[in-house]
Structure 1
Amino acid sequence: MKEPAAPDLYSALDGVSWPVLVTAMVQGEHVISYANAAFSAMCGHPIAELVGRDDDFLDGLTTDRSVKADMQAVLTEGRGIRRTIVTTRKDGTPYRTDVAIDPIRNASGRVTHLISIYRPTDDTGDPAATIGEVDTNLPSIAEHLPGYIYRVIMRTDGTIDTVYRSASLAQMLGTDNSQVMRTFDNLVYPDDHDAVYAALRKSAAGMSVFREEFRLVASNGTLHWLRSRAMPRRTPNGEITWDGIAIESSAEERWESEIANQASRDPLTGLLTRAAWLQALESELTAERSESATCAVICSDISAFSALNERLGQIAGDTILRETAKRLAKLAASIGGVAARLGGDEFAIMIPDCADQESLSLCVGSLSEAFAQPMQIGTECLTVLTCIGATFNQRLENETMADKGIASEVMTQAEIALRWAKQSGRNTPMLYSPEQDDRHRNEAVLARSLEHAIANDELELHYQPLVELASGRIVSAEALVRWKHPTLGMQRPDRFIPLAETSGLIVPLGRWVLEQAFRQHRLWTSAGLAPPPVAVNVSGNQLMEPGFVALVEEALKSQGANAANFEIELTEGLLVEPSPQIMASLHALRTMGFTIAIDDFGSGHATFRYLRDFPVDKLKIDQIFVRKLVLESTDALIIRAIISLARSMGIGLVAEGIETDMQRSFLQQEGCAVGQGYLFSMPLVAEDFTWMLAHNVSLPMRGPVEQAVPGSPTGPDAVTGAQLG
């Protein structure tokens, strides 16, 4: 079995006069991987008899209850212990020894080995005095190790001082000890300086283990790679002290680290790659911590980066990415986080010890502020907008995610929050919530089901009559799409229509509605009835499609329909900034014979100029004004103004949402001739509307419609008035 510990460390320990034992953590057991000659002489077991065996056959460490309990602190908290134990030699004779046990961790922070240094003493010896002697001689012990011992103190004012470094450091760097003490910061490799002090501050903030890998520069320019671990302790005067050991990596480890570093770093920004960062996230989330420990992930990307890259050029685009990465890395260092470039213009930060959601919100706010600062890109000073999504994961929940892959699930949560941020608007950070995720997951299910529903004719059109207010005669009908999901039940159009818009399904859905409306009108005509014009709702996304007009022409032809028998309804919002494509489509539809109507008029921001330039034949007063109508109210004044506007411009008018006789009378008196609403009829299936046409009914009918019309739908799903678009 290949020894996992550094061979350099073993060879250095061979010359140590103190007994030393190194055990490896293998599947929950402590397997002895190294014992020096001094340890063999102390216990009486030959080295060959020790290496490869579990250390439980040695007395003291596993038989002394207090020591056994304290061993857990070495494994979980990363701090060393010192104890006096009584153990037995191979020949059965007992002896007392003092032992100092410290953990050795790998690059991901997991404890892989324990190193134990022994100090034999006789039975009459004073343990406290013995430990004091060990403390006194510890610097000389360290001189034989490939690294150095240190003491670092954080003062109450936040300054950090190193008050002791063993002489072995000066020997390693090829300089004198006084020089090391005076200029240590200058000896730290520049790229590692901020990370070391950020790790110390993070350790102090949470009183957690300080662990860091860094490089020191020798007097001849050689880089020495070191790993350091230390547990902080607070002194009575409020200062925080770290007593620790920095062990140099072996030459082989150094070479592997350099190769791995090149493979795990993004060449453009220097940040971790997605794969390396996810591996670090997995290690962090699966590390043994307290149940209250938490981890947060922040994802961000640059808004409209493709457009910026195209306009400014790739060199400028790369500069934007590097500057964004620099700001991200600076924040990560200040909060003890780990930054990465996930790909393209998407970045991420992992915050291993994030106290709560409030702390996460503060970090997100700091990142937003950093990104909001202008960038000097060539001759331009740009403010680059970003979207940010974040998630807050409590490790207690990890057991429930074990089968999914913890890092993958947490990353998914952060990316979902990022998607919400993009949907809600630029520079609006979003925090993941399971409740919102469930809603969006349901919408994703609906979107997939909707595609199936369109392809398999699971939808149907309902028709709501428009009537002449004076007589109740049906003069038109509005086609409204309905969908009864096979498992989720009746779905409101105001839920699945937006899904169709965002998923791109609005085009096939709109085509289905047009074809069904054209087909039904032809069926009524073929049955000898005189059907009124039918209004079909069309969205802006449909009008923006270059092939939409051709699609309508094809649908008319395939169903044998006449455009003069139909109206195209669109929302007022399209009037605000109609694109050339929308204007061209509307003019083409009007030329074909369609009537153009503006739905929900009064709720948007249309102006006289747009009405003058737009090919509009009819306005439909937004039902919000009609439903809230009270005589002499503001709503009444708005309705009067819209009626006056339509009359003066020669535009037809319809009032939506009429539910009472008072509303009907007011509208008729003010000059609105046509209305629509539940006072007259709910939306009806085609068969019920056919019955009304065949019997030439006037609305409202006396008595409930469902009693007069065979098979009329009832219940809340039957009276839903939302429409396509």
Structure 2
Amino acid sequence: MNPGSCLVDDPGVANLQLLSHAEQQDILLLQQAILESVAQGHDPLDIINEVCRLEERLLPNAVGSVMLLDEDGKLNVYAAPSVPPEGVERLRLLCPGPNSGSCGNALYRGEPVFVSDTLTDPRWADLRDLAVDFNLLACWSMPIYGAGREIIGTFALSSFERRAPTEFHHKLLEIGASIIGIVLERRREADNLRLMAKVFENSNEGILVTDAQARIVSVNPAFVSMTGYSRDEALGQTPRLLASGIHDQVFYQHMWASLLEQGHWHGEIWNRRKNGEVFPEWLSLSAVHDHNGVLSHYVGLFFDLSERKAAEARAEYLIHHDPLTDLPNRLQAKNRLNEAIARRQDDGEGVALLYVDLDNFKTINDSLGQAMGDQLLKAAAQRMQTLLQSQEMLARHGADEFLLMVPHVREPRQLTELASLLLNAFAAPFDINGQQLHSTLSIGVALAPDDGDDYDALLQKAETAVRAAKEAGRNTFRFFTGQQGGQAAEQLLIRNGLHNALLRNEFILHYQPQLDLTTGRIVGAEALVRWLHPEQGMVPPGKFIPVAEESGLIVPIGEWVLHEACRQLAQWREEGLGDLVVAVNLSGVEFKRGYLVESVTHTLARTGLPATCLELELTESMLMHDVENVISTLQRLKALGVRLSIDDFGTGYSCLSYLTRFDVDTLKIDQSFVRQLHLGDQHAAIIRAVIQMAHSLDLATIAEGVEDAEVVAFLRAHACDQAQGYFFSKPLPAEDFARFVRQYRAVL
């Protein structure tokens, strides 16, 4: 078998219509990354480790692993780049069976196994301690097949949260297991090349044996099948019988020199069959000596590379093209644009990049279905292609976005005319399966060298410009301007940095003490996230929190904050620091995602922190959307024993009728009122009113932003329960906070 040929029938290419458009893109990008490594001939273990890492990125909070069967029928870890060594050791010599986890079951049953809860599923009975020790809460495993469809191992994704796989996850596992099987099979074939000199009549590869004068004395059936020459026709001939005429004399001289001097030669060669067809083959030649060391024979072993060449051509195509539209993909667009910029003569000509976005595509795709969306994308690509000149290149950037590279730009008017041409072309509807679909374009234009001198710079500027076009009402184009770029560039840097910050453990928590105003004791702390950038130093929360919320990254950041705050307080409790409560801020994005209660439950279970030691801070605006669902969520949190507070009270809706329905414990008086207390009676009256109202509802109050003794005295005089602020302490790193608590003496 030629394993490379499997790439033509890659399971990830089939049935993509079952997935969402975004999931299709993730699958295609995963294929592209893997196929690129395979096509470049990387080491098999490196490729398989990369497959694990790529799939881990598509399934956050999970790790990938590959286990292979040994000669005794037991499983051992072959690749698991994100699993600690102690975990790998615990899995050594795993016996397949009905209770030996997902991978043991996949081997035992000969089928994929999906376990959504390892702590209760009987199939994990023998590995329950492992699941608990390493917090493996779900595990999905797919058999890996060899060339003969025998199971040789498993590919698994193990999750740190309970979850069931979607069709997208099934496809990830199928693709991973299929590609890993191909890579392992290619490794096996490479090993066999060193053994082929000993293999003869029963080999599937063609073998010929010559005497010392290079006359053929024997051939095997595979030789006959591949070359078309019968045994009788080949005997007595020399290997020149198969010469294709493609290689020159120098090629054969080097081959014979290696064979005579080193005793062997191997490489790719083109030969000719009896019917005249020229075909590629991998040939391995060895010199055989008798017991006296005298040369007696030459052995040649070869296999047909035609299928592999076809697979490599397909792989190469997929690396550089979009399979839906057959347009160049972003990788080829990058290469071609950089080449065009490098060739640009210093004669005033420029190279432009147009970022073309199909307006309202998501609405069409969601309402009419993915199949109609795909047809629209293909039709849109074809319509744009008909308007372009030969040196201009249209590429698919992803989803509903295209890139248009235009070389030899002498003046901006060329780009204005081209953009207008594209916009006018999309005034006419598309006839897709008998339906008239209307879609316009938003176009952003960036020009080298004015806006940048490489692909990445121009892409960033063109993206900024297309956003400006969308903000202008869509169905228009905009050139990049420096004013657009300033804020966008900063946000882009922050967004890109946030992607890496979690992976690189760049986030830290500072803790600001909260004091009981009656006793003066420290009763808790507010956990405040800080970003310690390796180059920029401490990034202010006001800079990165809005970007994190806009991009959705606030969810994994919030989960990290919740876990780290609970873990730290649990540790402090073990160290005897006292009965403290840690307050964690929630964002509206986290609250709306719908699995907040599960996340809190899971975190408390993992860290061992009592629920009564955790306080979640919510804003008024967060609570006023979908009120009934909010009330249900708050009730479930309270049922856990978690404390709830409303942060920045008085700055949002402050709807008292709803406040009576929210099952909260504390109102936080916003620091804007506290800090302006000295400005007049109005702010004092607001604070008094909040305290009185809270107490009438049996709620506690805490004032934030306390910075001087006069404010403390005022708050005590009006029975405010707690306070925090720089008068007591600024937010402190964990180690400093612990030291502060141990050394603190009540000052009230």
TM-score interval, normalised by the smaller of the two chains: 0.3 to 0.5
Compute the TM-score of the two structures, normalised by the length of structure 1.
0.45
Point out the structure with max Rg over C-alpha: 1
Compute the TM-score of the two structures, normalised by the length of structure 2.
0.44
